[in-house]
């Protein structure tokens, strides 16, 4: 027995078999790869083989015992990559890409999230490495010190590459242009496996950095032609109605539309938000067919999309990978056109999502990050400050801003894994047995209460009546991984069609002097926010490169691209290449027109990527009034010796002794 394994080749094959088996088991158990036919099922099983042969095969070039050590090292690294993806996937329903990896700040802050995503049973995923090490130690003396003939590793690599070619050939036959159209990472993992996906992702990223170097001023023309052609003229009745009004933009973390008017245990989950939607006296206009369109960048994508009307990138977060680009962002436009001061409020530290860098490019005047708030232990949970103290402490900061202002309040407590201290929970959890889903309703309730408190405070401080207030959900809170529990909540099976419909997020507007329009069913996305705001202020969106259109315009284009190339119109939805009738949810055969629409969606996404990857706005001048934003003019953070922003008035109750405000 021992003799069999002392052969380096046998040890190698044991390692290959174990890694192959483990990878396949993980694909099946952990990832939701949506296998549609026999070829896909076979490839899912087959794809780890070539990676195991090729990567582990390199170890065979080493001499004697070292070959064994290298096999173990490479195997451990590949296992680590695989497991890191498992943990990442459990939360994000997605795979790790190079840009998300370089965002170590973000990973670090995930803290409690990461722990809650790991199970003790995951130990089985390390068993193969343990077996290899044990085997290696057991074989210690018997291991031959000779270098095996080079022919063997070369043969192994050739076999590995042949296996890969067969794999790729079958994949391309089942899914043409798999590697060209990279909107959906799930496909690449399904067909080629996680290891090849990681390599592919690295190559893609190197390519995109070279895109900036290669881009020139001609490239912007193509984008400009597209967005100008898509532009929708303003609704004359609303154009300029909000000129000079303060704007308060409220980011509802992880808030999906299904929560509106949803009842759990016979109780409304979000009675306050429901009252804004249902009570005409509140004068809100509620859009119930808005989709989030975000990707891996999550919150950061939602911020990017709403302020710039450009899509996030298919991989990673543009906030990080395109953080030094030139932008012509809403805060800068309204500052230059109408003298608006812009401020972001958020109970997390400024470096998260690289905000402290990219906000400078957006021309955001002040960033009230965690360093301005009382972050003592009882106030903080999960990612940062609880929403109630957040809103409460924000009031004096808001009051201190030069008017008119554009204030972006970003909530945080309603964030996975949806933890709310017992004493703050005012609704019982749901009872699906899926923890994230069950407590989702409790943090949603807490957010709703925090909002009510904020609205009351705004009224008291005289900031409510005359301000534009708009609220939006940033992205989904319950991912596909929780389809079983979600099915129980919604009372129907979550099919791919239904899942797409669940990507709705609420969007609500209150515009001073304009009667609330109740519930409006226009289809749109977060991409449409910036042009809508510009037109309310009386600034024509036409001058700027914006991929969305004014939601109040009669010419608004009602197709909503998702970042992965899926899209939704009022009549039908295109999900993973299949078309569905919105009314029945049944599959339909696409008409010419639908296929054309699909091409347009892909083109729009491609142009948006081109704009960001080529940093093309550096070549664009919107009009003669435009002054490029100078990032060196901005500085954020309430640190000693730094005077980032001076409040006009002393807040009534200074927060502890940390000198949170610098008083003029």
Give catalytic residues, as residue numbers: 299
Q: How far is the CB of 13 from Mn ion (least distance, A)?
A: 46
The structure tokens listed for 468 are 């534009």
Q: How far apart are CA 213 and CA 310, in angstroms?
A: 21
Give 245 or 415: the residue with its C-beta nearer to ligand GP9.
415
Closest CA to 455 of 254, 260, 283: 283
User: How distant, in Å, are the alpha carbons of 36, 482, 631 from that of 400?
Assistant: 57, 43, 23
User: How distant, in Å, are the alpha carbons of 302, 445, 453 from that of 324?
Assistant: 18, 37, 37
- Stretch of residues binding ligand GP9 (CB under 6 A), selected from 156-164, 205-213, 297-305, 579-587: 297-305
Residue 408 partner contact from ligand GP9, Mn ion, none using kind-dependent CB cut-offs of 5 to 8 Å: none
Residues found near Mn ion in the complex (CB under 5 A): 253, 298-299, 474
Residue 239 partner contact from ligand GP9, Mn ion, none using kind-dependent CB cut-offs of 5 to 8 Å: none
Q: How far apart are CA 45 and CA 20, in angstroms?
A: 8
Question: How many CB atoms neighbour CB 401 within 10 A?
Answer: 21
Residue entry with tokens 């109408």:
338
**E-only strand ranges, 292-371:** 341-346, 366-368
Say if residues 585 and 498 touch (Cβ distance below 8 Å): yes
Give yes or no for residue 350 binding ligand GP9 (CB under 6 A): no
Q: How far apart are CA 406 and CA 403, in angstroms?
A: 9
Among 90, 175, 298, 388, the residue binding ligand GP9 under the rule CB under 6 A is: 298
Q: How far is the CB of 413 from ligand GP9 (least distance, A)?
A: 11
- Stretch of residues binding ligand GP9 (CB under 6 A), selected from 261-269, 274-282, 292-300, 621-629: 292-300
Q: How far apart are CA 26 and CA 58, in angstroms?
A: 24
Q: How far apart are CA 519 and CA 512, in angstroms?
A: 17
The structure tokens listed for 506 are 């609420």
Q: What is the DSSP secondary-structure string of 146-166?
A: SPPPTHHHHHHHHHHHHHHHH
Among 348, 374, 438, 604, the residue binding ligand GP9 under the rule CB under 6 A is: 348
Residue 348 partner contact from Mn ion, ligand GP9, none using kind-dependent CB cut-offs of 5 to 8 Å: ligand GP9
- Stretch of residues binding ligand GP9 (CB under 6 A), selected from 295-303, 524-532, 614-622, 641-649: 295-303
Give 125 or 352: the residue with its C-beta nearer to ligand GP9.
352
Q: How far is the CB of 418 from Mn ion (least distance, A)?
A: 12
Give yes or no for residue 415 binding ligand GP9 (CB under 6 A): yes
Q: How far is the CB of 348 from ligand GP9 (least distance, A)?
A: 4
Q: How far is the CB of 588 from ligand GP9 (least distance, A)?
A: 34
Give yes or no for residue 528 binding ligand GP9 (CB under 6 A): no
Residue entry with tokens 């691209």:
561
Closest CA to 204 of 305, 49, 293, 316: 316
Residue of minimal CB distance from ligand GP9? 298
Closest CA to 222 of 541, 545, 1, 468: 545
Closest CA to 35 of 165, 163, 191: 191
Q: How far apart are CA 531 and CA 547, in angstroms?
A: 9
Q: How far is the CB of 579 from ligand GP9 (least distance, A)?
A: 31
Per-residue contact flags (x/-) with ligand GP9 for residues 302 to 341, judged by CB under 6 A? ----------------------------------------
Among 143, 287, 352, 547, the residue binding ligand GP9 under the rule CB under 6 A is: 352
The structure tokens listed for 227 are 């967005």
Question: How many CB atoms neighbour CB 285 within 10 A?
Answer: 21
Give 242 or 248: the residue with its C-beta nearer to ligand GP9.
248
Residue 383 partner contact from Mn ion, ligand GP9, none using kind-dependent CB cut-offs of 5 to 8 Å: ligand GP9
- Stretch of residues binding ligand GP9 (CB under 6 A), selected from 166-174, 210-218, 277-285, 298-306: 298-306
Beta-bridge partners for 406: 247, 342
Evaluate the CA torsion angle 97, 98, 103, 108 in order and state its sign.
positive
Q: How far apart are CA 114 and CA 614, in angstroms?
A: 34
Say if residues 6 and 162 touch (Cβ distance below 8 Å): no
Give 40 or 299: the residue with its C-beta nearer to Mn ion.
299
Size of the site for ligand GP9 (CB under 6 A): 8
Among 299, 344, 463, 582, the residue binding ligand GP9 under the rule CB under 6 A is: 299
Give 94 or 253: the residue with its C-beta nearer to Mn ion.
253
SS3 annotation, 189-243: HHHHHHHHHHHHHHHHHHHHHHHHHHCCCCHHHHHHHHHHHHCCCCCCCCCCCCC
Q: How far is the CB of 185 from ligand GP9 (least distance, A)?
A: 17
Q: How far is the CB of 443 from ligand GP9 (least distance, A)?
A: 13
Q: How far apart are CA 601 and CA 529, in angstroms?
A: 18
Q: How far is the CB of 321 from ligand GP9 (least distance, A)?
A: 15
Kindly list the residues in this chain that would bind ligand GP9 in the complex (CB under 6 A). 298-300, 348, 352, 383, 412, 415
């Amino acid at each position: 027995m021992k003799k069999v394994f002392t052969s380096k080749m046998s040890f190698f094959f044991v390692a290959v078999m174990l890694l192959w088996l483990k990878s396949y088991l993980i694909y099946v158990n952990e990832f939701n790869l949506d296998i549609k036919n026999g070829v896909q099922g076979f490839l899912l099983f087959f794809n780890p083989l070539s990676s195991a042969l090729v990567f582990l095969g390199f170890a065979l070039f080493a001499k004697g015992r070292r070959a064994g050590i290298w096999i173990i090292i490479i195997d451990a690294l590949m296992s680590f990559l695989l497991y890191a993806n498992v943990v990442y996937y459990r939360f994000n329903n997605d795979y790790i890409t190079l840009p998300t990896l370089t965002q170590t700040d973000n990973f670090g802050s995930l803290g409690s999230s990461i722990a809650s995503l790991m199970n003790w049973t995951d130990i089985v995923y390390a068993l193969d490495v343990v077996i290899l090490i044990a085997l290696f130690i057991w074989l210690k003396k018997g291991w031959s010190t000779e270098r095996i003939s080079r022919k063997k590793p070369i043969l192994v690599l050739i076999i590995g590459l042949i296996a890969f070619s067969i794999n790729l050939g079958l994949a391309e036959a089942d899914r043409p242009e798999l590697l060209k159209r990279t909107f959906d990472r799930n496909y690449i993992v399904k067909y080629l496996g996680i290891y090849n996906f990681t390599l592919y992702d690295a190559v893609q990223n190197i390519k995109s950095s070279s895109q900036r170097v290669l881009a020139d001023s001609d490239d912007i023309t193509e984008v400009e032609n597209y967005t100008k052609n898509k532009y929708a003229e303003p609704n004359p009745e609303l154009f300029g109605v909000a000129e000079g009004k303060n704007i308060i933009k409220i980011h509802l973390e992880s808030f999906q539309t299904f929560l509106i008017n949803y009842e759990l245990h016979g109780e409304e989950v979000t009675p306050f938000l429901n009252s804004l939607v249902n009570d005409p006296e509140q004068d809100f206009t509620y859009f119930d067919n808005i989709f989030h369109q975000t990707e891996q960048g999550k919150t950061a994508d939602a911020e990017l999309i709403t302020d710039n009307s450009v899509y996030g990138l298919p991989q990673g977060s543009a906030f990080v990978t395109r953080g030094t680009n030139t932008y012509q962002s809403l805060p800068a436009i309204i500052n230059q056109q109408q003298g608006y001061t812009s401020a972001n409020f958020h109970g997390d530290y400024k470096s998260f999502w690289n905000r402290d860098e990219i906000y400078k490019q957006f021309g955001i005047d002040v960033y009230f990050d965690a360093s301005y708030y009382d972050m003592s232990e009882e106030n903080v949970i999960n990612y940062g400050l609880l929403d109630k103290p957040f809103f409460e402490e924000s009031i004096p900061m808001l009051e201190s801003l030069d008017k008119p202002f554009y204030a972006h309040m970003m909530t945080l407590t309603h964030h996975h894994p949806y933890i709310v201290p017992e004493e703050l929970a005012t609704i019982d959890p749901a009872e699906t047995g899926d923890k994230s889903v069950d407590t989702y309703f409790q943090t949603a309730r807490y957010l709703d209460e925090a909002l009510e408190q904020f609205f009351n405070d705004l009224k008291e401080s005289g900031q409510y009546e005359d301000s534009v207030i708009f609220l939006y959900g940033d992205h989904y809170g319950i991912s596909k991984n929780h389809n079983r529990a979600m099915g129980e909540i919604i009372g129907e099976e979550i099919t791919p069609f239904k899942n797409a419909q669940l990507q709705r997020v609420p969007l609500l507007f209150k515009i001073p002097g304009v009667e609330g329009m109740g519930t409006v069913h226009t289809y749109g996305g977060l991409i449409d926010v910036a042009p809508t705001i510009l037109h309310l202020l009386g600034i024509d969106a036409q001058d700027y490169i914006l991929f969305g259109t004014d939601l109040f315009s009669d010419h608004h284009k009602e197709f909503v691209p998702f970042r992965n190339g899926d899209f939704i119109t009022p009549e039908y939805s295109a999900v993973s290449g299949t078309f569905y009738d919105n009314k029945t949810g049944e599959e339909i055969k696409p008409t010419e027109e639908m296929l054309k629409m699909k091409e347009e969606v892909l083109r729009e996404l491609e142009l948006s990527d081109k704009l960001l990857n080529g940093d093309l706005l550096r070549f664009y001048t919107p009009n003669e009034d435009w002054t490029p934003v100078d990032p060196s003019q901005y500085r954020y953070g309430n640190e000693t010796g730094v005077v980032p922003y001076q409040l006009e008035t002393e807040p009534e109750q200074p927060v502890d002794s940390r000198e949170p405000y610098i008083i003029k």
